[in-house]
Amino acid sequence: MQDILNELEERRAVARLGGGERRIEAQHKRGKLTARERIELLLDEGSFEEFDMFVEHRCSEFGMGETKIPGDGVVTGWGTVNGRTVYLFAKDFTVFGGSLSETHAKKITKIQDMALQNRAPCIGLFDAGGARIQEGVAALGGYGEVFLRNVLASGVIPQISVIMGPCAGGDVYSPAMTDFIFMVKDTSYMFVTGPDVVKTVTNETVSAEELGGASVHTTKSSIADNAYDNDVEALLQMRRFIDFLPSSNLAPVPELPSFDDGERVVASLDTIIPANPNQPYDMKELIGKVVDEGDFFEIQAAFARNIVIGFGRMEGRTVGFTANQPMVLAGVLDSDASRKAARFVRFCDCFSIPLVTFVDVPGFLPGTAQEYGGLIKHGAKLLFAFAEATVPKVTVITRKAYGGAYDVMSSKHIRGDVNYAWPSAEIAVMGPKGAAEILYRSELADAGKIEQRIKDYEDRFANPFVAAERGYIDEVIVPRNTRRRISRALNMLRNKRTENPWKKHDNIPL
Amino acid sequence: MFDKILIANRGEIACRVIKTARRMGIKTVAVFSEADVRALHVDMADEAVNIGPAAAAQSYLVVDKIIDACKQTGAEAVHPGYGFLSENSAFAHALSKAGLVFIGPNPKAIEAMGDKIESKRFANAANVSTVPGYLGEINDGTEAVKIADEIGYPVMIKASAGGGGKGMRIAYSDAEVADGFMRARSEAKSSFGDDRVFIEKFIVNPRHIEIQVLGDKHGNVIHLGERECSIQRRNQKVIEEAPSPLLDAKTRKAMGEQAVALAKAVDYDSAGTVEFVAGQDRSFFFLEMNTRLQVEHPVTELVTGIDLVEQMIRVAAGETLAIKQNSLKLNGWAVESRIYAEDPYRNFMPSTGRLVSYRPPEEVSETETSVRNDTGVYEGGEISIYYDPMIAKLCTHAPTRKDAINQMADALDRFFIHGIQHNVPFLAAVMANERWRGGELATSFIDDEFPEGFDGAVASDEVKRTLVSAAAVLDHMENTRKREISGQMGGKSVQFNIERVVKLGDDWFDVTMGVTSDNSGTVIFQHSAADTPVEVRHSWVPGEPVWHGTIGEATVSVQVRRILNGFRLSHRGVEVEAHVYTRREAELARLMPVKVPPDTSKKLLCPMPGLVVSLAVDKGQEVKAGEQLCVIEAMKMENILRAERDSKVSIIHASPGDSLAVDAVIMEFE
């Protein structure tokens, strides 16, 4: 027996070394950690249970028969984050560059199947060179198996991808189908085809960083949801992030003991709307002062900054916030902002996370660039997402709610449960000036007259009461009571139950 | 006594006057400009009158508007505060013509003391010690040299009409006098429209000490002891105290008597201040008299127990001074710190904007010790570009100077401000400065002690121990809570690892947390920065901006701002990032490469499609990080673009009125 135990320990030791000391050192030199080190950071101490540690590939071509390393380039298993179960796989760059073989893919799909069956989040840590070319079509088949499971699990369990090294070719599509992608600055990149192929095909000269680095994907393409300075920072943030997420679409949102009174009154919110209507203010201050302890996990902070999305807690329970940001482009809705928020709203709806929406929107962004870019359908995504959502929806209009954008932003008409407005709210088809100029086009030449028309329109519509008179606004609230009102509304809505008509699935304007 | 008074001022001083008036049962009227619609003084007063546009010249400085506001509200008297119209004799005249009472001295006294040469004449006549110098008109450089030779070097050449260092020159030789005279004269001409200059002895390593006087309309004048205001930056007082660590009883008496003599010479009938320049040998020379309530008056109030505003109101109403010189006793020591909206790390550049958080320390008012905070702002208020950037005057009072300073250091640690930059870290650094604590002051103190400007206080071992302890406990509290999240797997729950590592700035400390009893927050632990186990008690819960507790025997406050995976802590002027890891996390964190901040582009790009409203800089201009560069209007919103770093503008591509696309180059830097 002792011999067997010794052999087990020896085999484990070999497997844990992955590609060996030299490759581990090289990994560290690049500023990256190894797969097992990353898992240690992500999971509770000592909670990791590894599967398939001794799996090896079965390829014998191109000399592969002589090189076999236990684990085959990916470390898989499960563990806990603050006591809650998660499944994970971490590409091991020190073993065949983390490349995907048939057996490597099987290890991943085993984990995916367990995560789905047992209803717990699945997390992938990516750092790999793509398909194992020596295996040819077997590797491609492996990818397909992984993709299928990503799709089947979508909306059932949260799936998170953290890109911590190269991620190219077939490797990019699995993250692309997960709920969130996070990256590490300077050491990770993601693209379908790399700089060499780009050069051959389009004659563009571009570096890996310029083509698919973290800054590209967090600011331009919006592929990544956030980026962090290094592996440690990223993985510790993942622990924070997971604390916000329910384990599955059937599980309730996680709850933390809260030290923040739901009844807390915030007097300084009474002055957040500047006296001058053309002056912006920071919507993140409002969010920070409303959520528990000012703790807000923003998603896609660097992309389409005219809308702010992210997770916070109200009285200890997760809430998804969507808010127009007057600091950027006056908080206008454009294609990027609409897409960004729509995907977030749908995520929250999948996982029973209540939606709180702060509205200060001057409308949709006009212009050829937007129209040619398909603003109609992109804007429709957000409208669709809010309308179909059946989770509790609480909306607060702080200032402008103009035009179609008013309807889009979780309005009463698309099943907002509780719709509040601050006294500073202006709910109208458009701004007073624009409206008066259209209504009284014939008087445009007379500055005095048109001035009066603008004022008349302002007096009539630049307030929340016209909407409140129709019941479009449930109540006009004092800004300082916003946290209290939202807390109470969310408590009141905790047992909300509503269902959309049966369908195979909807047909959101993609 | 008056039924209703108007306060022709704004900010903390208006609020301070209102408080006293209210206590005396007098109704108050505030005036406000359009920029102050939401200001605290407007809210505090019984009534408020809008007196026009934001610019002071069109509102707070317009005599007629103040008089109209009095008539409109029925106010009988006006308190001018300091600054604005407080030392304007025309204003005092106009009020009396309108049948209103000026709560301040008679106009003649204002006039007599308003002119530097005039005031010296009065001083000489009243046998007040003045700096040796020549008060007559000086015609040319040769005459200037002759006079300087007689006085003895070094000498100072100064504009008669001036103030704030403009038109001021110091000369150490006759050659420098000749040159300095011409320059001072032309500067005086251009700055004040008055080219008269005078020459006087220059006091080496001087201190600024002033005597508070108080007179009534019946010929009584007393003095209320001195204040030392030597801690100045660019002639702007920053920290004041009463009494002065320099003076002995004899000098105090002599200065007081001279100040009273001068006040009597001009029939002074209100609160006023006689400023002296003092040598380190306790020689003192009259500088000027301020015929108003001084900013730093609270320190005198704290050590004398007298409300100066109340006395001003009473004497203005014709009452006889009830306080006698010989009944006056100075009690303990008081220190005042002026909290300014300025960035101490960027050469004290003014900072304006919304006060997202404003949590001053709690005020304490006891006979022996007190903490007083005179303020004109509130959380959610605005520091506007139009007025003085002072946020508050934080004062502490204790039996001894050392106690008052320690109390100030503690109060500053608790002063939490967010949204704008402020000088609290700098003030805290001064409180820890040995020379300041030793009372060895001079007006050059800040230049001497912070020759390279301020770059944050250096953490002493004691401060490091405090911060390591606080960080460990903060992390412990957050971690303990995280372990209570719902939905955990059955079985043994996850345990907190008691072996931690605190990374404080670039230093690493091993920490072993001891038995952590209950939620009352007692934590005992051993860390590598201390020899023996440390016991920490506190009541902090996640989300609170200031951590209060005891570490060992010491009671401390540490400000806490959450950052990614850690905290930014500030304490005693030290601001530092703290991360708390398990031993294994720390081991791996040490492997992470150090990132150099990315090179910010040398171009200012338009962040959104918009219209250029205005440009705040010119080609070739040096700009400081944070300085306004231009205003872009987009979607009818004005957005201010600021410099990301110190630089020089090399080319400007846009001009006001231009419509720009996203990423259009507005200007380039060198």
CA distances from A376 to A360, A366, A372, B646 (A): 20, 11, 9, 43
Question: Is A259 part of any domain?
Answer: no
Domains of chain B: 4-103 (3.40.50.20), 106-113+123-128+208-331 (3.30.470.20), 132-201 (3.30.1490.20), 339-457 (3.30.470.20), 467-589 (3.30.700.30), 603-669 (2.40.50.100)
Q: What is the pLDDT of residue B165?
A: 61
Looking at residue A288, which CATH number applies to its domain?
3.90.226.10
CA distances from B542 to A100, A265, A294, B416 (A): 44, 18, 10, 16
Label residues B464-486 b or e (16+ Cβ within 10 Å = b). bbbbbbbbbbbbbbbbebbbebb
Residues A342 and A439 in one domain: no
For every residue of B597-653, DSSP letters joined together read: PP---SEEEPSSSEEEEEE---TT-EE-TT-EEEEEEETTEEEEEE-SSSEEEEEE-
Nearest to B335 by CA among B293, B303, B291, B290: B303
Structural domain total, chain A? 3
Question: Is A308 part of any domain?
Answer: yes
Say what percent of chain A tops pLDDT 70: 100
A174-213 confidence digits (pLDDT tens): 999 999 999 999 999 999 999 998 999 998 999 999 999 9
Question: Is A508 part of any domain?
Answer: no
**Å between B630 CA and nearest CA of chain A:** 15
Q: What is the pLDDT of residue B520?
A: 52
Question: Is A304 part of any domain?
Answer: yes
Residues A50 and A61 in one domain: yes
B226-285 confidence digits (pLDDT tens): 999 999 998 889 999 999 999 999 999 999 999 999 999 999 999 999 999 999 999 999
**C-beta atoms of B493 and A83 within 8 A:** yes
Q: What is the pLDDT of residue B131?
A: 82
For residues A320 and A355, is the Cβ–Cβ distance under 8 A?
Answer: yes
Residues A298 and A347 in one domain: yes
Residue that terminates a domain, selected from A242, A275, A306: A242
Question: Is A121 part of any domain?
Answer: yes
- Which range marks the domain in which residue A456 is found? 431-462
Residues A234 and A335 in one domain: no
Question: Is A176 part of any domain?
Answer: yes
Q: Check B226, B288, B336, B382 and give the catalytic one.
A: B288
For residues A444 and A450, is the Cβ–Cβ distance under 8 A?
Answer: yes
Residues A330 and A454 in one domain: no
* pLDDT score of B528 more than 70: no
Which chain A residues have a beta carbon less than 8 Å from that of B543?
259-260, 292-295
**C-beta atoms of B634 and A255 within 8 A:** no
Q: How many beta-carbon contacts under 8 Å exist across A and B?
A: 141
Q: What is the pLDDT of residue B79?
A: 97
Which chain B residues have a beta carbon less than 8 Å from that of A268?
355-357, 378-380
Nearest to A35 by CA among A123, A103, A126: A126
Pairing of strands B566-571, B574-582: antiparallel
Supply the Cα-derived Rg of chain A in whole angstroms.
26
Nearest to A92 by CA among A142, A55, A144: A55
**Å between A432 CA and nearest CA of chain B:** 13
The count of C-alpha atoms lying within 13 angstroms of the C-alpha of A234, restricted to the half-sphere facing its C-beta, is 32
What's this model's pTM, rounded to 2 decimal places?
0.89
A170 is catalytic: yes
> Please, where are the H alpha helices in A255-374?
283-290, 335-350, 368-372
Tell me the backbone φ, ψ of residue A476, rounded to 5 degrees: -90, 125
A136 is catalytic: no
Residues A377 and A394 in one domain: yes
Nearest CA in chain B to A227: B564
B556-571 confidence digits (pLDDT tens): 999 999 999 999 999 9
Residues A175 and A309 in one domain: no
Q: What is the pLDDT of residue B374?
A: 97
What is the arithmetic mean of pLDDT over A407-426? Answer: 97
**C-beta atoms of A40 and B588 within 8 A:** yes
* pLDDT score of A249 more than 80: yes
Residues A139 and A206 in one domain: yes
Q: Check A405, A425, A462, A467 and give the catalytic one.
A: A405
Average pLDDT, chain A: 94
**C-beta atoms of B380 and A236 within 8 A:** no
Q: Which of B382, B489, B635 sits opposite A83 (nearest CB)?
A: B489
Residues A449 and A406 in one domain: no
B162-184 confidence digits (pLDDT tens): 665 666 788 888 888 888 888 88
A3-58 confidence digits (pLDDT tens): 899 999 999 988 888 888 999 999 999 999 999 999 999 999 999 999 999 888 88
B628-663 confidence digits (pLDDT tens): 888 887 655 677 888 888 888 888 888 888 877 777
Nearest CA in chain B to A251: B487
**C-beta atoms of B484 and A431 within 8 A:** no
What is the arithmetic mean of pLDDT over B610-618? Answer: 85
**C-beta atoms of B486 and A252 within 8 A:** yes
* pLDDT score of B596 more than 80: no
**C-beta atoms of A82 and B485 within 8 A:** yes
Q: Which 3 state secondary structure label does DSSP give B558?
A: strand
A346-402 confidence digits (pLDDT tens): 999 999 999 999 999 999 999 999 999 999 999 999 999 999 999 999 999 999 999
Which DSSP symbol is given to A213?
Answer: B
**C-beta atoms of B38 and A275 within 8 A:** yes
Question: Is A177 part of any domain?
Answer: yes
> Please, where are the H alpha helices in A154-258?
173-176, 195-202, 208-212, 214-219, 231-242
Residue B199 confidence class, pLDDT cut points 50, 70, 90: confident
Nearest to B427 by CA among B439, B442, B443, B409: B409
Non-local CB neighbours of B373 within 8 Å, separated by 6+ positions: B360, B361, B363, B392, B393, B394, B395
B31-48 confidence digits (pLDDT tens): 999 999 999 999 999 999
**Å between A232 CA and nearest CA of chain B:** 6
Residue B612 confidence class, pLDDT cut points 50, 70, 90: confident
B633 is catalytic: no
A404 is catalytic: yes
Residues A457 and A470 in one domain: no
Label residues B24-58 b or e (16+ Cβ within 10 Å = b). eebbbbbbbbbbbebbbbbebbebbbebbebebee
Measured distance CA(A231)–CA(A229) in Å, rounded: 7
A267-309 confidence digits (pLDDT tens): 999 999 998 877 889 999 999 999 999 999 999 999 999 999 9
Which chain A residues have a beta carbon less than 8 Å from that of B38?
271, 275
Question: Is A503 part of any domain?
Answer: no
Does residue B193 come out as left (phi exceeding 0), alpha (psi in the -120 to 50 range) or beta? Answer: left
* Between B166 and B88, the higher pLDDT residue: B88
Which chain B residues have a beta carbon less than 8 Å from that of A33?
588, 591
* Between A443 and B307, the higher pLDDT residue: B307
Residues A382 and A284 in one domain: yes
Q: What is the pLDDT of residue B207?
A: 96
Q: What is the pLDDT of residue B624?
A: 84
Pairing of strands B603-605, B622-623: unpaired
Residues A417 and A453 in one domain: no
Q: What is the pLDDT of residue B144?
A: 86
ipTM: 0.92
Say what percent of chain B tops pLDDT 70: 95
For residues A323 and A288, is the Cβ–Cβ distance under 8 A?
Answer: no
